[in-house]
């Protein structure tokens, strides 16, 4: 059993996907075609922002954000130590210093008290990475940003469709509450295409225009280079796929939540396992269903599942501040007790919108068997 049933998802919307891709093939407008502009309008409306700029990947979205806000040499950007490397990579690519903050070991999200300890006169931004489908607690980050004069960028690659508190305290879509929200359309994401893709969201019209220009070689108009840019464009075939999937996203998120609730009901109370925590004031979409397992048992459980044909994943096996690439170009919080607990204990189980009750039952039965919990007759 794979972590994500992408083929099952495709079959559920096959006719719509095939028709949408056929339309692009007939039009032969493969780069910046009409489907791309329509997707940007629909994503902006769905997320609740004024502007959406699609791009080549979630990593590009972060790089565009860092470039647009002027991050450069001498600046520092605070990012979580426990996450995927793109968030630190894009800071370093701008010549700035990644500063690694601790995370809450229950929610896996950045710890605002750690952020506060790390703020310096060089702090340009903090990146709130919404981990595994659950958004960060945003109001404390906004308060720190107001007091110290930096901006808040959201990495929403794993939590599109989730909800969190905005700066005013009102509930809003994750990715819409910071100055800039970045997301990824990698195939396994909550909203994924059939290749790489990403998008940047903002309510700031001038910032959106600058991001769009940077993503198109710094041109405005064509062949008039106003700044040094990159080539980062979502191709039209991917936009067509995403437009179809966006129409089903609400139902697919509900299916993920239902699958997570089935895991919760089956696994809560199993000794040696802690189910994901749902934090107050946010709404989880379960991009991953990540257990915390007794470190002495985690690798054994993973091998046990693999022997039964069940895939599982460790996101992430080491902290970013321990990675060779960042040892000499970063700094980090001296107190990383939350993050330090996670690499040896986290284990993500298969979950997606099309996992199926019977398939999920296999996973739950195997986990219980490993821990010696007898199934009720």
Report the catalytic residues: 189
Q: Is the dihedral of CA 133, 137, 138, 144 positive or negative?
A: negative
Rounded Cα–Cα distance for residues 337 and 103 (Å): 8
The count of other CB atoms within 10 Å of the CB of residue 345 is 18
Structure tokens at 41: 């309008």
């Amino acid at each position: 059993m794979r972590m994500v049933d992408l083929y099952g998802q495709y079959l559920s919307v096959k006719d719509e996907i095939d028709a949408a891709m056929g339309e692009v093939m007939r039009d032969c407008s493969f780069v910046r075609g009409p489907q791309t502009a329509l997707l940007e309008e629909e994503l902006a409306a769905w997320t609740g922002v004024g502007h959406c700029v699609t791009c080549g990947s979630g990593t590009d979205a972060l790089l565009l954000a860092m470039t647009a806000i002027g991050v450069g040499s001498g600046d520092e950007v605070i990012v979580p130590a426990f996450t995927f490397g793109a968030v630190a990579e894009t800071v370093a690519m701008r010549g700035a210093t990644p500063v690694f903050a601790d995370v809450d070991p229950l929610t896996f999200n950045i710890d605002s008290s750690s952020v506060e300890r790390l703020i310096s006169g060089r702090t340009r931004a903090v990146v709130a990475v919404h981990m595994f489908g659950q958004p960060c607690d945003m109001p404390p980050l906004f308060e720190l940003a107001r007091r110290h004069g930096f901006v808040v960028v959201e990495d929403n690659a794993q939590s599109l469709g989730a909800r969190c508190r905005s700066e005013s305290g009102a509930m809003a879509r994750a990715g819409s509450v910071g100055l800039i929200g970045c997301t990824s359309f990698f195939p396994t994401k909550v909203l994924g295409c059939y290749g790489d893709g990403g998008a940047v969201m903002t309510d700031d019209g001038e910032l959106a225009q600058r991001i769009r220009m940077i993503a198109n070689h710094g041109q405005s108009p064509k062949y008039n280079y106003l700044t040094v840019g990159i080539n980062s464009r979502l191709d039209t075939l991917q936009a067509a796929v995403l437009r179809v999937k966006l129409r089903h996203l609400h139902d697919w998120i509900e299916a993920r939540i239902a699958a997570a609730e089935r895991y919760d009901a089956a696994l809560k109370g199993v000794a040696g396992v802690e189910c994901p925590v749902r934090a107050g004031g946010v709404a989880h979409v379960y991009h991953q269903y990540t257990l915390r397992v007794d470190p002495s048992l985690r690798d054994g459980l993973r091998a046990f599942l693999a022997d039964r044909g069940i895939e599982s994943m460790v996101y992430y096996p080491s902290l970013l501040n321990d990675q060779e690439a960042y040892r000499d170009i970063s700094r980090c919080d001296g107190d990383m007790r939350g993050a330090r607990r996670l690499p040896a204990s986290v284990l993500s189980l298969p979950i997606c919108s099309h996992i199926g009750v019977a398939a999920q039952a296999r996973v739950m039965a195997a986990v219980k068997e490993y821990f010696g919990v007898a199934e009720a007759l």
